[in-house]
Amino acid sequence: MRDIMGMMGKVKEMQAKMEKMQADIAAVEVEGAAGGGLVTVKMNGKGEMLGLKIDPSLFKEDDIEILEDLIVAAHKSAKDRAEQITAEKTKELTAGLPIPPGMKLPF
């Protein structure tokens, strides 16, 4: 019976750590850039876009498709960085736990 109580305590502790980690990740702000910094996207850890900066030199009718591509590329860059931070924080939290390879956290 002690083992079950101990395990339940560990589960509650892990749940509290996971909730804190999720809050920390949501508070993270990352930037992604494309076109050598001509387009910059700012996102939070949840993947929500917080801001967009576009260099004025790109505001030419001929360059609309380029601008659209750069916005998509900058967004992907920021999203990749946010996912990398999430993976690092999850790895720190789950260090030493027997979690199967490839299992994604948080759920």
State the pTM of this model: 0.59
12 within some domain: yes
d(CA 73, CA 41): 9
Residue 3 has pLDDT above 80, yes or no: no
64 within some domain: yes
63 within some domain: yes
The pLDDT assigned to 36 comes to 92
Q: Could you tell me the CATH number of the domain that includes residue 36?
A: 3.30.1310.10
102 within some domain: no
Beta strands 39-44 and 49-54 are: antiparallel
Q: Which domain holds residue 2?
A: 1-94
d(CA 107, CA 94): 13
| pLDDT tens digits for range 9-30 | 877 888 888 888 888 888 888 8
| pLDDT tens digits for range 28-52 | 888 999 989 988 999 888 888 888 8
3-state class (DSSP) for residue 105: coil
Residue 61 has pLDDT above 60, yes or no: yes
More confident residue, 2 or 38: 38
49 within some domain: yes
